[in-house]
Structure 1
Amino acid sequence: MPEYGYHLSCEQYGPAELVEQARMAEQAGFHALWISDHYHPWNDAQGQSPFVWSVIGALSEAVSLPIETAVTCPTVRMHPAVVAQAAATSAVMTEGRFRLGVGTGEALNEHILGDRWPPAHVRMEMLEEAVQVMRRLFTGEEVSHHGTHYTVENARLYTVPDEPVPIDVSGFGPKATSLAARIGDGYITMMPNEEMVEQYRKGGGGGKLVSGGTKVCFGHDADDCVRTVHKLWYNEQLPGEMGQVLPTPRHFEQLKELVTEDRVRQNVVCGDDVDQHVSTLKEFADAGFDRIYVNQIGPDMRGFFDFYRTKVLPQLPH
Structure 2
Amino acid sequence: MKQYPAVPRAADAPDLFESGHLWLQERIDGAHLRFRMRESGVLQFGDRERTFDRRRSSGAQSGGSDGIPLGYRHAVRHVRESFDREALRNTVADPSSVVFFGEATVRDAIDYDWSRTPAFLGFDVWDADRERFLPPDSVEQIFERLGLRPVNTVQKEVRAVDFDPESDAVPDSAWHDGPAAGVVVRNKTGGRAEISHPAYDEWREESDPATAPADELAAQLVTRRRVERVVADLDAEARSAAFETVFERLLESVAREEHHRLFHDRASVDLRAFRSAAAERTQELLNDR
TM > 0.5 fold call: no
Greater CA radius of gyration, 1 or 2?
Answer: 2
Q: Which has the higher helix share?
A: 1
TM-score, normalising length from structure 2?
A: 0.29
Structure with higher RCO (Cα < 8 A, 6+ apart): 2
